[in-house]
Copies of this chain bind each other. A is one copy, B any other.
Amino acid sequence: MTAPRSTRQREVIVRVIEDAPGPLSVPELLARAQQDLPGLGVATVYRTLKLLQEQGVVHPVHLDGESRFERAGRGHHHHFACRTCARVFDLHQCPVALPKGTVYPGGFVVEAHEVTLYGLCPECAARPPA
């Protein structure tokens, strides 16, 4: 048995993910973690993300061709991507009613769904483009 060790890098990476208002891209995650751990390398970030995914602590969100990562187990939720500032936020209200097992027209058996909304985040909506 090989219990993962607790290291400063892992602590920081997990904390950064937990403190984020939505899923983070690898560059975002790396930049934030390096504020506490300047020497941190990308490889460690990827390896840690992989580990955390296997542990079910974190899971990936693919959005606009970018891989982002967020804390798992925060319940069913979806995402909002701001077209102005490019940040991604969690939404806590689901606009879809598709219970697992629903059969969609055509005979598609639905097991899960993913929704992404695009538009302006509260900040960018209050401060429109020049």
Chain A positions near chain B (C-beta within 8 angstroms): 60, 62-65, 67, 80, 83, 89, 91-93, 95-98, 104-122, 125-126
Contacts and interface: CB of A to CB of B under 8 A. Distances in A.
22 contacts: A62-B65, A65-B67, A80-B108, A89-B108, A91-B106, A92-B105, A93-B105, A95-B96, A95-B97, A95-B98, A96-B96, A106-B122, A107-B121, A108-B117, A108-B120, A108-B125, A109-B120, A110-B117, A110-B118, A111-B118, A112-B119, A113-B116
Contacts of A107: 121-122, 125-126
Give this chain's copy count.
2
A104 B91 contact: yes
Nearest to A101: B119
Taking chain A's interface residues, is the majority helix, strand, or loop, or is none over half, making it mixed?
Answer: strand
Nearest to A91: B104
A117 B112 contact: yes
A79 B121 CA distance: 25
